[in-house]
Amino acid sequence: MTMPAARGRIRIFATYTGLVAHAQFMRAGLNHHRTIDSPMTELLDSLLRGSAVTARFSRDATLQGMLDFEVALAAAEAEAGLIPAAAVAPITAAARASDLDWAALRDDAASAGNLAIPLVKQLTARVKALDADAARFVHWGATSQDAIDTGLVLQVRGALDDLGGDLDGLIRQLTEQVRQHRATVMVGRTWLQHALPITFGLKLAGTLDALLRARADLANVREQVLCVQFGGAAGTLASLGTQGADVAAALARHLGLSDVATPWHGQRDRIVRVGGWAASLTGSLGKFARDTALLTQTEVGEIAEASGPGRGGSSTMPHKRNPVGCAAILAAAARTPQLVATLFAAMQQDHERGLGTWHAEWETLPELLMLCGGAAATARTLVDDWTVDTARMRANLEITHGLIMAEAVTMALGEAMGRLEAHRRVEARCRDALAQQRHLLDVLREDSDITRILSIEALERLMDPQHYLGAAETFVSRVLTLADAATPISQPGRKSQ
CATH number at residue 369: 1.20.200.10
Total domains in the chain come to 3
Q: Is the pLDDT of residue 495 over 70?
A: no
Q: Is the pLDDT of residue 44 over 80?
A: no
SS3 227: strand
Mean pLDDT of 40-61: 85
- Give the per-residue pLDDT at 42: 81
Closest of 413, 4, 415, 416 to residue 428, by C-alpha: 413
Judge contact between 133 and 88, C-beta under 8 A: no
- Give the per-residue pLDDT at 489: 64
Please tell me the distance from the alpha carbon of residue 400 to that of residue 347, in angstroms, as a whole number: 52
| Same-domain check for residues 357 and 420 | no
| Same-domain check for residues 63 and 89 | yes
Cα end-to-end distance, the chain, whole Å? 76
Q: Is the pLDDT of residue 36 over 50?
A: no
- Which listed residue (314, 419, 424, 431) is catalytic? 314
Q: Where does a domain end: 78, 106, 136?
A: 136
- Give the per-residue pLDDT at 54: 94
Q: Is the pLDDT of residue 165 over 80?
A: yes
Please tell me the distance from the alpha carbon of residue 260 to that of residue 343, in angstroms, as a whole number: 21
Q: Is residue 315 flagged as an active site residue?
A: no
Q: Tell me what percent of the residues of the chain surpass a pLDDT of 90.
A: 84
pLDDT in tens, 421-447: 999 999 999 999 999 999 999 999 999
Report CA Rg, the chain: 31
**197: in domain:** yes
**3: in domain:** no
**19: in domain:** no
| Same-domain check for residues 355 and 288 | yes
Q: Is the pLDDT of residue 22 over 70?
A: no
Please tell me the distance from the alpha carbon of residue 247 to that of residue 40, in angstroms, as a whole number: 42
Q: How confident is the model at residue 349 (pLDDT cuts 50, 70, 90)?
A: very high
Mean pLDDT of 287-299: 97
Q: How confident is the model at residue 45 (pLDDT cuts 50, 70, 90)?
A: confident
- Mark 165-204 as b/e (b = at least 16 C-beta within 10 Å): bbbbbbbebbbebbeebbebbbbbbeeeeeebbbbbbbbb
**106: in domain:** yes
The helix or strand, by DSSP H or E, that contains position 303, with its residue range, turns out to be strand 303-304
Mean pLDDT of 215-230: 97
Q: Is residue 34 flagged as an active site residue?
A: no
Q: Kindly state the DSSP code that residue 311 receives in the 8-state scheme.
A: B
pTM for the predicted model, two decimal places = 0.87
| Same-domain check for residues 455 and 438 | yes
**Rounded (10°) angle between helices 419-436 and 406-417:** 140
Mean pLDDT of 346-352: 94
**298: in domain:** yes
- Give the per-residue pLDDT at 35: 42
- Tell me the CATH number at 436: 1.10.40.30
| Same-domain check for residues 60 and 83 | yes
Q: How confident is the model at residue 46 (pLDDT cuts 50, 70, 90)?
A: confident
Mean pLDDT of 462-478: 97
- Which listed residue (353, 392, 445, 494) is catalytic? 353
Judge contact between 378 and 47, C-beta under 8 A: no
| Same-domain check for residues 270 and 362 | yes
| Same-domain check for residues 214 and 310 | yes
- Give the per-residue pLDDT at 37: 53
Please tell me the distance from the alpha carbon of residue 102 to that of residue 123, in angstroms, as a whole number: 12
Mean pLDDT of 178-202: 97
**128: in domain:** yes
pLDDT in tens, 263-276: 999 999 999 999 99
Mean pLDDT of 191-217: 97
**395: in domain:** no
Please tell me the distance from the alpha carbon of residue 231 to that of residue 211, in angstroms, as a whole number: 36
| 308 vs 44, residue with greater confidence | 44
| 79 vs 49, residue with greater confidence | 79
Q: Is the pLDDT of residue 95 over 90?
A: yes
- Tell me the CATH number at 117: 1.10.275.10
Judge contact between 339 and 19, C-beta under 8 A: no
Q: What phi and psi, each to the nearest 5 degrees, are found at residue 196? A: -140, 165
Q: How confident is the model at residue 12 (pLDDT cuts 50, 70, 90)?
A: very low
Q: Is the pLDDT of residue 491 over 60?
A: no
- Give the per-residue pLDDT at 318: 53
Q: Tell me what percent of the residues of the chain surpass a pLDDT of 70.
A: 87
**22: in domain:** no
| Same-domain check for residues 89 and 228 | no
Please tell me the distance from the alpha carbon of residue 424 to that of residue 426, in angstroms, as a whole number: 6
Q: What is the DSSP string of 329-394?
A: HHHHHHHHHHHHHHHHHTT---TTS-SSTTTTHHHHHHHHHHHHHHHHHHHHHHHHH-EE-HHHHH
- Give the per-residue pLDDT at 49: 82
Mean pLDDT of 387-404: 96
| Same-domain check for residues 155 and 195 | yes
CB atoms within 10 A of CB 269: 13
Domain, as residue range, for 385: 145-236+262-389
Q: Kindly state the DSSP code that residue 304 receives in the 8-state scheme.
A: E
pLDDT in tens, 102-157: 999 999 999 999 999 999 999 999 999 999 999 999 999 999 999 999 999 999 99
CB atoms within 10 A of CB 445: 15
- Give the per-residue pLDDT at 92: 98
| Same-domain check for residues 308 and 347 | yes
- Give the per-residue pLDDT at 223: 96
Please tell me the distance from the alpha carbon of residue 214 to that of residue 277, in angstroms, as a whole number: 8
Q: How confident is the model at residue 81 (pLDDT cuts 50, 70, 90)?
A: very high
- Give the per-residue pLDDT at 160: 98
| Same-domain check for residues 370 and 434 | no
- Give the per-residue pLDDT at 119: 98
Q: Are strands 303-304 and 193-199 parallel, antiparallel or unpaired?
A: unpaired
Q: Where does a domain end: 102, 136, 170?
A: 136
| Same-domain check for residues 323 and 359 | yes
Q: What is the DSSP string of 165-215?
A: HHHHHHHHHHHHHHHHTTT-EEEEEETTEEEEEEEHHHHHHHHHHHHHHHH
| Mean pLDDT, rounded, of the chain | 90
Q: Where does a domain end: 363, 389, 415?
A: 389
Q: Is the pLDDT of residue 80 over 70?
A: yes
Q: How confident is the model at residue 308 (pLDDT cuts 50, 70, 90)?
A: low
Judge contact between 371 and 329, C-beta under 8 A: no
